[in-house]
Amino acid sequence: MKKEKLYDYFTKGLNPIFRGWIGAEIETHFIYPNGDPITIDCSQEIFKILVNDGWRVVSMKGVLIAELAKNGAKILYELGRQNIEVATPPADPECLFGVINSFMSDLYLAAEKCNAYPLFAPIIETEEDLLIIPDERDASWLELDGVRQLGLLSKISSVQFTFETKGPEDAIYLLNKLSENRDKFISSNPYAQEEMWVEYIQSSKAGYRPDRYGIMCPTSIGNYVELLTSHDVVINSKLVPFDEAEQENIDMFLRSVWWNFRLRRYSDRLCIEVRTLSRRDDGQILCDFNNLLSIIH
């Protein structure tokens, strides 16, 4: 993979018309009334109920339903059999929370029919093996990291917002502004998963560099690319130096560098992901969303 291609990915062919849209990804643990995490059979039954409610199957993993879609939204597993993610389509900020509530209601109602209920907490306390590997990326990580190490991440749930920027310069400015104001999020919603992420990075059999997770403060898009390409690329469950990597899947590489705030591209939009928000009740999602708006506007 070449640095020039990564630089172009962040800078070329971007839409100059700024909409200001924001999307959300909300992970939720589901448990039985006695507090135990739901089984794979239960989560599959939830997915089947959603299919009968207008969601369609877009991905299977063997005989298991792995991902659903409806009106631009997705419902899928996030590493744990009990951890179900709702990813909304991007929307105007004034409409986003209504969009979130609509899709979350679908999930909650389907779960209730299976005697399953949301656990509004970022970490589920259990010694059970919760791992489920729904896609190629997760399968590569399982072999690379080890079962115990990746299992740490199957027990945490987060909320993530992804918002459009006006372009490369604006994106770098906002990345740094978010880093400077991270305490604004933490003060109202402490990030309980921090220690588990650090343990994952340190204990993984892959031998990741410590700065593959955390906060980066780039000075420019060029500097951001330099920081990214200092990290190895995951290919066939192995770490390969960036300059030696032949893989052309840029998005897969970007998803494997777990900075708190990171750049992503969706079609012709350069976006920022805000990743380290603990999953608590739905009211906290609104609080975190308002905190985000106060920082980026």
Q: Three-state secondary structure along the chain?
A: CCHHHHHHHHHCCCCCCCCCCEEEEEEEEEECCCCCECCHHHHHHHHHHHHHCCCEEEEEECCEEEEEEECCEEEEEECEEEEEEEECCCECHHHHHHHHHHHHHHHHHHHHCCCCEEECCCECCCCCCCECCCCHHHHHHHHHHCHHHHHHHCCECEEEEEEECCCHHHHHHHHHHHHHCHHHHHHHCCCCCHHHHHHHHHHCCCCCCHHHEECCCCCCHHHHHHHHHCCCEEECCEEECHHHCCCCCHHHHHCCCEECEEEEEECCEEEEEEEEEECCCHHHHHHHHHHHHHHHC
Residue 27 scores a pLDDT above 80: yes
Q: Which pLDDT score is estimated for 116?
A: 99
Could you tell me the pLDDT band of residue 2, with boundaries at 50, 70 and 90? confident
- Compute the distance between CA of residue 107 and CA of residue 247 in angstroms, rounded to an integer: 36
Is 137's pLDDT higher than 70? no
pLDDT, average across residues 173-180: 98
Q: What pTM was computed for the model?
A: 0.95
pLDDT, residue 136, reads: 64
| Residue 52 pLDDT | 98
User: For strand 213-214 and strand 258-259, is the pairing parallel, antiparallel, or unpaired?
Assistant: parallel
**Which of these CATH numbers, 3.30.590.20, 1.20.140.10, 1.10.3720.10, 3.30.2000.20, describes 3-296?**
3.30.590.20
What are the structural domain ranges in the chain?
3-296
Percent of the chain whose pLDDT exceeds 70: 98
How would residue 249 be classed by pLDDT, with cut points 50, 70 and 90?
confident
